[in-house]
Structure formats: C-alpha cells, structure tokens
Amino acid sequence: MQPTGKLQVGKYNKYIYMTQKVRNILIFIGKHKYVLSLLVFIIIVGFLDANSFMQRIQLQQINDSLRLQIQHFEEICTRDSSRLKQLQSDPSAVVRVAREEYLMKAENEDVFIIIEEKQNNE
C-alpha cells in the first residue's frame, strides 16, 4: 500500500509550519537578545542565586529581630547589674529582697502570705 498524496502533504505542511515557528522564535530571540539576557540575569540574581535579593531580605529580617533581642537582653543586664550593685552596697536591700522574693523571715516573726483570687464575672 502506498500512502496517499493528501497525507504526505499534511505531514509536509506540519513540518513547514514547525520550521516557520522555530524560525520566528529564533528571530524574536535575535532581535531581543539584550532584553532576554537582562531578564535571565534578573531571575538568576533575584531568585535563584545563593546571594539573591530574596535571601538578603530574609537575612535582614532575621538580623533586625536579633538586634531587638540584643537590645532587650542588654536592658536586662543593665537592670540586674544595678540591682547587684545595690545589694552589694546596702545590707537593708538584701533583707528586703530576701523577705519579698524568697519569703524569708526573722527568728521571732511569722509570715502570712495572702493570695488574692481572681473573681470570674459569669
């Protein structure tokens, strides 16, 4: 059996159509090679690279949160240092801290702890 001429023409037309499509794509790339190169560069640098802009933004956010934590802990350190200096220099401060925070008492006194219960308004 021999193939019909109509079928061969259809295959040939598809081949011509595909080659024209490829040729048009190559012409488009040739005309816009600088723009396409710039787009590829932006995609690589902006998203795919290890040092991409997205990675830099994430690292900047982490850096900012860590700086806030450093500031918070420096404030705690300053407050505790001043309290330590006060406790080292003033014996009455040691007694006050022992009574308030550690519920210590003198030998001749009794300590009563009053706990206020929260009332639920139901």
pLDDT 10s digits, 94-115: 888 888 888 788 788 887 778 8
Number of domains comprising the chain: 1
Measured between alpha carbons, how far is 111 from 115 in angstroms, rounded to an integer? 13
In a domain, 36, yes or no: no
Give the residue-averaged pLDDT of 49-70: 92
In a domain, 56, yes or no: yes
Q: Are 8 and 15 in contact (CB under 8 A)?
A: no
Range of the domain at 66: 51-102
Measured between alpha carbons, how far is 104 from 115 in angstroms, rounded to an integer? 17
Please check the confidence at residue 3 and state whether its pLDDT lies above 80. no
Please check the confidence at residue 5 and state whether its pLDDT lies above 50. no
In a domain, 30, yes or no: no
In a domain, 84, yes or no: yes
In a domain, 35, yes or no: no
In a domain, 2, yes or no: no
pLDDT tens for 21-58 read 889 999 999 999 999 999 999 888 888 888 888 889 99
The encoded tokens of residue 117 equal 């219960």
In a domain, 17, yes or no: no
In a domain, 117, yes or no: no
Average model confidence (pLDDT) across the chain? 84
